[in-house]
Structure 1
């Protein structure tokens, strides 16, 4: 299909840029010609995937499930740590796999399928097993889920970067997250109120996990049916992983990216208190299936509504601003948790936390695409994901110890301090790459 200059300009792509090679012009033409189709593919995949995965990743259902099975805050921390440990190495492995390939989609599909199988495992284990076998396999499936989550984060973000222009990514993520988050929020309320409170099929949590598996699988089907990916012309020569890892420090010569990475690490450490907020709420108020559904709805509903705002703000003003504002809101959310004394107070806290979490995810995952060269995008994504998950794999264990010895209030206060440090680093040391590239 041929594309003229008007087609490119209509989609916000400049034609005839003398700094672009002929292959870049061909790539821009392909992106413009397939933009509507690829926008729908990414929207459908993200909406359905987000609906299912957020039931697992929300700081409510899984922590409450593990606590129900074990009665231990330490085991809650261990479950969160194992999920993150699984994601430590997989981003680098996946990045080294795709950075020399013309097409990313085949690898992304394999990763996506493997990410969904642990959800099926969680459901079947919950229905069929009990005691130590149930606990052990649940932890194993959470570890597997984490491993393939880390790999998917690189491949699908890189795939989006190939087919969606920079100034459309925030809008896409905003619309996608608004729709997916709205469904996830309503579904979480219904799952808590009906599936978990009613112990549907003998294990309401397992039934919720099966629902997540079905929805995320539908999302992957939408993607493979619709998406059209161009060949990569800016890619690296094949290189063994160990040799590529030795080159990673070179990417940190970009000071803005280096300090951005430091702020990511501090923010990840600052999330140490998130999975324990629901347990803190259980100490202050009565926490049953209905209350669990309501707090999940508050978190996911706020995440949903905020995404559209974050996306529009990022497209217009840059994702550094989104990153900054989300950190401020996150600090405020933890503060609300500390002063809450009833259900209404915790609902407000989870609303603020959901909005902050969505802003951070959008800001961090989109901003990292804008540093440095296009050829290094897979490895920048991998470095950020691996560094983030390395900290995230340790912090829940430390959080479990702090919560057990010093209590949830001390742990939440520590989270606020770490997020404050991250905010200072971004404010003082990280320039917005979008404006720096334009000489602003």
Structure 2
């Protein structure tokens, strides 16, 4: 009965959730955590450490709360109401950024820093509180045989709309005086996020029995210990994900280094944001197909090498035209080590254990997510940007080696998730 309901609404749910992702991507183009927001923050601080934390905040916020919400999510019969309430905290903060930008002429730099980072943390935690319920809802309404296509379509729609947002943002940044250019970008982002919320609210989710038979919090936490003790393959996967934060730590510094080293202007910042999103669009479709055909482990290794190459190219690019290729490598790495890594997490364990694996696969990575950019920012402040890029490149190659030696594709050999 449940399967027939899912099939009945599959086309509708596929469509509204892809459109939701498209508008979310549009908002992300206007308020990119890789280019636009770091450039905004650089107008009232020169600290590479603080600026380097900006892209880590949404990743940390996405990862950290998931384990704390996994048990509650596992007991739900319908995920959509929880998603709709919690995701407001993922979208509303962009309106807060617009208000803060308008207040910049009236506030001291320190007050701007505190308010901006408080809003970014609010947004990050909002996404993390939503994450487990949203992933569980998607896994419920989209059959497993269509998940790869669904995530590919979502990513393509988000990035294509993000490209539009990025190019409009570059025009606004160039034509309107600061800080009102940033305020308008963030306002456009908040409108796009509101439209995104509307379309996700159109999801038709059938009511079902909870996945988990665990009744108490103690039993749930004990089950996590069992997973970590028995599932050797998953432990190596977690190790690789922890190390993968090193190659990712370089991305927020690429724009700043280009501004300092090559004199990149605001218009070019919008262009590199577009290059990044075009790359993510194409990479998401191609790497999703590669992962479906040969396993997501290979995709993660490709991402590690792409991050390493982009970091080395950032050190050696002779001019700004060559530097655009840095963002191509960064886009491939971000898709692989963030999106595909999260999708691969869903392949470990059984359906009953899914919320626990989702929580473990994200929350345990959170300390490295925040530590890596702190280390990268400290090196950029106290040594130079090139040192940060070199360490990121080494981290990418080491992560690829760990994946090769220790991790097996769980979809190819599901029994690995049961071996001690």
Q: TM-score, normalised by structure 1?
A: 0.88
Which of 98, 123, 138 is the aligned partner of 2:98?
123
Q: 1:193-221 CA distances to partner (integer Å, 9 max, x unpaired)?
A: x2112236852122212211111221121
Q: Structure 1's 402 and 289: CA in aligned 2 closer, same or farther, altered over 3 A?
A: same
Alpha-carbon spacing, 1:46–1:84, altered in 2? closer, same or farther (3 Å)? closer
Q: Secondary structure at the match of 1:182?
A: helix
**Deviation at residue 328 of structure 1 after TM alignment:** 2.0
Query: Equivalent residue for 1:59?
Result: 34
Q: Quick check: 296-305 or 327-336, which moved more?
A: 327-336
**What residue in structure 2 maps to residue 35 of structure 1?**
10
Task: Flag the 1:430–1:232 CA change in 2: closer, same or farther, 3 A.
Answer: farther
1:183 and 2:161 equivalent?
Answer: yes
3-state DSSP of counterpart to 2:365 = helix
Distance of 1:311 and 1:114 partners within structure 2: 29
Q: Can you list the C-alpha shifts for 1:66-94, whole angstroms capped at 9, x where unaligned?
A: 11121221321354555555455421222
Pair 1:162-2:137 in alignment: no
Q: CA deviation at 1:350?
A: 0.4
Among 401, 418, 421, which residue is 2:395 paired with? 418
Query: Is the counterpart of residue 249 in structure 1 residue 218 in structure 2?
Result: no
TM-score (norm 2): 0.92
Q: CA separation in 1, counterparts of 2:29 and 2:350? A: 32
1:211 aligns with 2:156: no
Partner in structure 2 of residue 396 of structure 1? 373
**Contact 2:247/2:307, CA 8 A, preserved across alignment:** no
SS of alignment partner, residue 267 of structure 2: helix
Cα separation, 2, equivalents of 1:233 and 1:322: 32
Aligned pairs for 1:230-379 within 5 A: 230-240=207-217, 244-252=220-228, 253-379=230-356
Q: Distance in 1 between matches of 2:246 and 2:323?
A: 22
Render the CA deviation track for 1:86-128: whole Å, top value 9, x for unaligned: 4554212222321111111111111211111211111111113
The answer to whether residue 109 in structure 2 is matched with residue 134 in structure 1 is no
Q: Deviations over 1:308-353 (max 9, x none)?
A: 1122222333322222222222222222212112111111110121
Which whole-Å CA distance do the structure 1 matches of 2:319 and 2:391 have between them?
Answer: 22
1:66–1:76 contact (8 Å) kept in structure 2: yes
**What runs of 5+ residues in structure 2 fail to find an aligned partner?**
none
Structure 1 unmatched ranges of 5 or more? 1-25
RMSD: 2.1
Cα shift at 1:139 = 0.8
